[in-house]
Chain A
Amino acid sequence: MSQQMIAWCVIAGVLLCAFVLRALERYFIDCHHHIRFPKHFLESGREREMFFVPGDDESDDFDDL
């Protein structure tokens, strides 16, 4: 790999990093603005949250026992 190629790859990497950092910054700002419903790539929750139907008894928490 010549010096030119290395320099080109470094410059491309810096630019890519700038775009990725910007995207992450935007993502976290969006999360901050939606504190009630934060967006997460991965999260854990109770089973009833997935199968909750409006009208169900909200105190029914036996799934977690």
Chain B
Amino acid sequence: MTSETTVLSAESGIAGTAAFLADYAALLAGCGATCIRIEKNTGRMASAFGLKFDIAVMPAHVYVTVRENDNGESCVVVRKVAACGISFNLNALLSRLSWEVADNRLDLVSAVERFDRIRLTKPTGKWEVLILTSLANASFCRLFGGDAYAMLIVFFTTLAGFRLKQIMLEDGCDVRLTFICASFFSAAMSAGGCIFNIGATPELALGTSVLYLIPGVPYINAVSDIIERHYLCAFSRFMDAAVLTVCLSLGLCAGMFILGFKWF
């Protein structure tokens, strides 16, 4: 839904409120929030608007029901979960918006305007993400006891693997194939430490070179959803994460197999 349609629908009472809350929940779900976070934030805003509210968060859609207290008029809106990718920045901005609506008693039109501005937030630059991910993975290597050479190897192999991942995803490649290729090349490149005897802990470089591909957020969200008894979403997130983990394992094993390393 475009911003214009959201603003137009914001002027049409309960239906507009329901549309706004559904858009909000769909974007929040898309940027990596847990089900309980989506429920709390949207419920907070619905209370501030003086409406009764219910939400069903499904793996690919959100269903929002809004009711007025007095005459019982109700409206149900279904929205597809936004495909915006995990973004902590977007998550924080949307949570702040819900508190501003609740605490400052923003009216619906102002809330929709702010929401439209948030929706235009640009994602973090790809080069910054590339460098920071490489540094983070090199730090992981250090945490596991890797020396400076191993950290350097992990930094450069992550740089190469993550850049390959960015290129393949930009070109619209399947995310599973992308994970297999990225982990294969990262593992194979970092195996150079073992092949050329660089440093004292080359095996740690090999082991930690693919850790940047572990889908941590879906795993954590799956656990949170299980605790809150959102089993469908939990299972969906867990299966998504598990498939990606299998793909990165395939790439790692293929790299080790081609270079003649023993798996165990």
Contacts of A4 in B (CB 8 A): 195, 259-260
A8 in contact with B191 (CB, 8 Å) = yes
Contacts of A22 in B (CB 8 A): 167
Contacts of B191 in A (CB 8 A): 8
Contacts of B189 in A (CB 8 A): 8, 11-12, 15
Q: Indicate if A3 sits at the interface (CB-CB under 8 A).
A: yes
Q: Indicate if B160 sits at the interface (CB-CB under 8 A).
A: yes
Point out the residue from B160, B167, B196, B260 that lies within 8 Å of A7, measured CB to CB. Answer: B260
Contacts of A29 in B (CB 8 A): none
A18 to B171, CA, bound (A): 13
Q: Indicate if B188 sits at the interface (CB-CB under 8 A).
A: yes
Q: Indicate if A5 sits at the interface (CB-CB under 8 A).
A: yes
Interface string of B163-200 (1 = CB under 8 A from A): 11001000000000000000001001101100110000
A19 to B189, CA, bound (A): 14
Give the total of B residues in contact with A, Cβ under 8 Å: 15
Q: How far is the CB of A12 from chain B (nearest CB, A)?
A: 6
- Do A5 and B185 form a contact, CB below 8 Å, given A15-B160, A15-B164? no
A7 in contact with B185 (CB, 8 Å) = no
Q: Indicate if B258 sits at the interface (CB-CB under 8 A).
A: yes
Contacts of A15 in B (CB 8 A): 160, 164, 185, 189
- Do A19 and B195 form a contact, CB below 8 Å, given A4-B260, A11-B188? no
Q: How far is the CB of A29 from chain B (nearest CB, A)?
A: 12
Contacts of A7 in B (CB 8 A): 258-260
Q: Counting chain B CB atoms within 10 Å of each CB, which of A8, A12, A19 scores highest?
A: A8
A5 to B192, CA, bound (A): 8
Q: How far is the CB of B259 from chain A (nearest CB, A)?
A: 5
Please, which residue of chain A has its CB at the minimum distance from the CB of B255?
A: A11
- Do A18 and B164 form a contact, CB below 8 Å, given A11-B188, A11-B189? yes
A38 to B263, CA, bound (A): 51
A8 to B188, CA, bound (A): 7
Interface residues of chain B, those whose CB is within 8 Å of chain A, are 160, 163-164, 167, 185, 188-189, 191-192, 195-196, 255, 258-260
A-B contact pairs, 18 of them (CB 8 A): A2-B195, A3-B260, A4-B195, A4-B260, A7-B258, A7-B259, A7-B260, A8-B189, A8-B191, A8-B192, A8-B195, A11-B259, A12-B188, A12-B192, A15-B160, A15-B185, A19-B164, A22-B167
